[in-house]
Amino acid sequence: MNTELHFRPANMNDADCLLLWRNDRATREASLYTGRVEVADHLKWLRSALNSDQKRLYIAEVNHRPVGTIRTDNEEDGLILSWTVAPKSRGKGIAQKMLKRFVEECDETLFAQIKVANIASQKVAERAGFTLQDVKEGVLFYQRSAD
């Protein structure tokens, strides 16, 4: 059995699982916008994200099963990174593997915004080489400079 983690680009067939993960309580608590997302809004957002040259959306898979997602949003000086692990796959080191792998394969400056209460994400970001730059209104601003 191949337990290696790999990334593939997201597509419209991922809509259901991405919405499930997005509306999960812990994901909402970790997000800047904490409300539930409705199906129609989600489909509109996903379609536009997949067609945008300002965003990239990836699904992480282990053994051909989706275990998480990473999104990048273009910024003037680099990419803002955000991530979610599938609720059923949490607590198994997946976030750590996803971030480490993604950062290793990326040669751009990366940014991440993590809420103060989100200790797990702070740990994985720091272990992937992000350093804390600033704190504003309960949000930690991290950066990982390109080598």
Ligand X SMILES: CC(C)(COP(=O)(O)OP(=O)(O)OC[C@H]1O[C@@H](n2cnc3c(N)ncnc32)[C@H](O)[C@@H]1OP(=O)(O)O)[C@@H](O)C(=O)NCCC(=O)NCCS
Residues lying near ligand X in the complex (CB under 6 A) are found at: 26-27, 30, 82-85, 90-96, 114, 118-121, 123-124
- Smallest separation (angstroms) from ligand X to the CB of 26: 4
Q: How far, in Å, are 97, 98, 138 from residue 146 at the CA level? A: 19, 18, 26
**Least CB distance from residue 127 to ligand X, whole Å?**
8
Give the nearest distance from C-beta 1 to ligand X in angstroms. Answer: 19
Cβ(138)–Cβ(115) under 8 Å? yes
Dihedral class, residue 64 (left if φ above 0, else alpha if ψ from -120 to 50, else beta): left
Cβ nearer to ligand X, comparing 74 with 100: 100
Name residues whose C-beta falls within 8 Å of residue 116's C-beta, 6 or more positions apart in sequence: 135, 138, 139, 140
Closest distance to ligand X from the beta carbon of 72 (Å): 13
C-beta of 51 vs 92, nearer to ligand X: 92
The nearer residue to ligand X, 46 or 83, going by C-beta atoms, is 83
